[in-house]
Amino acid sequence: MGVRDVDHPYGCAAFTVDPGRFAGDTTTMHVTYYNANKPNGEVSVFEQLTLHRKRSDARH
């Protein structure tokens, strides 16, 4: 789903990744998107989300 924010057309995203501690564990990625606010460019959090995925290095 895309969102267009006319009042804040620019921004950036920051990512942190926890790869998990062992083979087959879950990798977690936290994403925070920041708006660059007009007119001075201060940033504010627009949205945060977390993604999870099982590592593919587990023994079969």
**Integer Cα distance of 34 and 43 in angstroms:** 6
pLDDT, mean of each 10-residue run, the chain (60 residues): 74 96 95 89 92 87
Strands (DSSP E) contained in the chain are 11-18, 26-36, 43-54
Using CB atoms within 10 Å of the CB of residue 55, give its burial: 0 to 12 exposed, 13 to 18 middle, 19+ buried. middle
Structure tokens belonging to residue 22: 């062992």
Amino acid at 55: R
Q: Which of 41, 40, 48 is nearest to 14 (CA)?
A: 48
Does the pTM surpass 0.85? The reply is no
